Amino acid sequence: MATSLTEEIKKVEAQAKQRVAEARSEAARIVSKARDEADLMRKESKQEAYKRYKSRLTEVEAEAEKKADSIVAEGEKEAQKFIEAGRKGVGAVSSWVAEEVMARYGRS
């Protein structure tokens, strides 16, 4: 009976070692799978963030373009007003200059 008990203990120890080895192998596989999934999620997150960045950049550029167009249009209006204001005074100034020249140098 002592030998069969010893053999039984050895058999149980061998099974326990086998189960421990299988558990370690399974744990390594699970860890590896989790790392792969985490890497994939990180890559996908980076890609999604880059897509959102490019999309937002396009939106901001479009908004800036609209604002720049409105600023340019406003500047053109102001420039046209300035030109028109200058045109109104040109006739009076040219008449005044002509009168001054005529008065100083005569009409001949």
Tokens of 26: 């399974």
Check pLDDT > 70 for residue 108: no
Q: What is the pLDDT of residues 75-91, one digit of tens each?
A: 999 999 988 888 877 87
Average pLDDT over residues 3-20: 92
Q: What is the pLDDT of residues 17-73, one digit of tens each?
A: 999 999 999 999 999 999 999 999 999 999 999 999 999 999 999 999 999 999 999
Tokens of 99: 């009168």
Q: Map residue 16 onto helix, strand or coil.
A: helix
**Sign of the torsion formed by the C-alpha atoms of 74, 78, 79 and 80:** positive
Phi first, then psi: what are they for 107, rounded to 5°?
A: -100, 5
